């Protein structure tokens, strides 16, 4: 079992839909990151969380430390949101432990 | 300047070639990282430099040789690579090293390497 599990693995949505991607982890962490990677591209850091909730534009990230769970929400989704979304946690060593990623496709 | 730059964007090399990947940041970050990412897989950590010293080598084969000439620059020297080394090589930087609580990593766009 991976230390960081994301669901779903693949997600197709219609433009305008509300999207949720989930991340569960099994290790103690100091922070959780949500990252975005467009096809063939580099990685962009969306959020770094250690508690509560953060919002940036149409993106919202929440974390529940007790339940070891985080969610990334996208409101009013758009085709340009199509990308791979990666959850990564920072464990005891400080290294990032990555989830397998969620591939999102938003259709017009 | 809040970005990490990497050159070249694409690189094709033969198994006998010697080439280098370059990464640069001007955010005053003191830790820099090399990751390797195969298609449809998450990145795998290769090396970490902290204050220009190699602090982590994740048992990477010696055909990959990192170098940190100064706090802004990180190189990855490649020699006698194998076709299975073809991947996206990502550089990242963070304000401080891995042991520091505030350690958001900023990633570069990557170099797409193909070994023939």
List, for residues A15-70, the tens digit of each pLDDT value.
999 999 999 999 988 899 999 999 878 899 999 999 999 999 999 999 999 999 99
Rounded to whole angstroms, the Cα distance separating B63 from A49 reads 37
The pLDDT assigned to A18 comes to 98
According to DSSP, the β-strands at B111-115 and A52-56 are unpaired
Where does the pLDDT of residue B2 fall: very low under 50, low under 70, confident under 90, or very high at 90 and above? low
The pLDDT assigned to A41 comes to 82
Of residues B42, B98, B110, nearest to A86 (C-beta)? B42
The pLDDT assigned to B89 comes to 97
Minimal Cα–Cα distance from A103 to chain B, Å?
A: 9
The pLDDT assigned to B110 comes to 95
Where does the pLDDT of residue A85 fall: very low under 50, low under 70, confident under 90, or very high at 90 and above? very high
The 10s digit of each residue's pLDDT in B28-66 is 999 999 999 999 899 999 999 999 999 999 999 999 999
Of residues A40, A96, A100, nearest to B105 (C-beta)? A96
pLDDT for residue B15 is more than 70 = yes
Minimal Cα–Cα distance from B70 to chain A, Å?
A: 22
Where does the pLDDT of residue B1 fall: very low under 50, low under 70, confident under 90, or very high at 90 and above? low
Rounded to whole angstroms, the Cα distance separating B70 from A99 reads 32
Of residues B6, B45, B105, nearest to A45 (C-beta)? B105
Residues in chain A within 8 Å Cβ distance of B110: 41-43
According to DSSP, the β-strands at A102-107 and A10-14 are parallel
Rounded to whole angstroms, the Cα distance separating A39 from A96 reads 21
Length of chain B: 116
């Amino acid at each position: 079992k991976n230390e960081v599990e994301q669901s779903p693995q693949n997600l197709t949505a219609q433009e305008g839909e509300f999207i949720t991607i989930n991340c569960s982890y099994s290790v103690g962490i100091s922070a959780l990151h949500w990252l975005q990677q467009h096809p063939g591209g580099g990685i962009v850091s969306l959020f770094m969380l250690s508690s509560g909730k953060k919002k940036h534009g149409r993106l919202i990230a929440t974390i529940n430390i007790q339940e070891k769970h985080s969610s990334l929400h996208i409101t009013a989704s758009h085709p340009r949101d199509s990308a791979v979304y990666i959850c990564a946690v920072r464990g005891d060593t400080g290294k990032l432990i990555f989830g397998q990623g969620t591939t999102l496709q938003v259709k017009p | 300047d809040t970005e990490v730059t990497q050159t070249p964007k694409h690189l094709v090399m033969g198994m006998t070639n010697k080439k280098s990947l370059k990464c640069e940041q001007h955010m005053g970050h003191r830790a820099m990282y090399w990751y390797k990412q195969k298609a449809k897989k998450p990145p795998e950590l290769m090396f970490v430099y902290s204050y220009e010293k190699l602090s982590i080598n994740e048992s990477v084969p010696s055909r990959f040789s990192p170098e940190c000439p100064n706090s802004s620059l990180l190189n990855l020297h490649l020699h006698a690579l194998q076709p299975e080394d073809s991947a996206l090589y990502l550089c990242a930087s963070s304000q401080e090293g891995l042991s520091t609580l505030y350690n958001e990593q900023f990633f570069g766009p990557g170099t797409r390497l193909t070994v023939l």
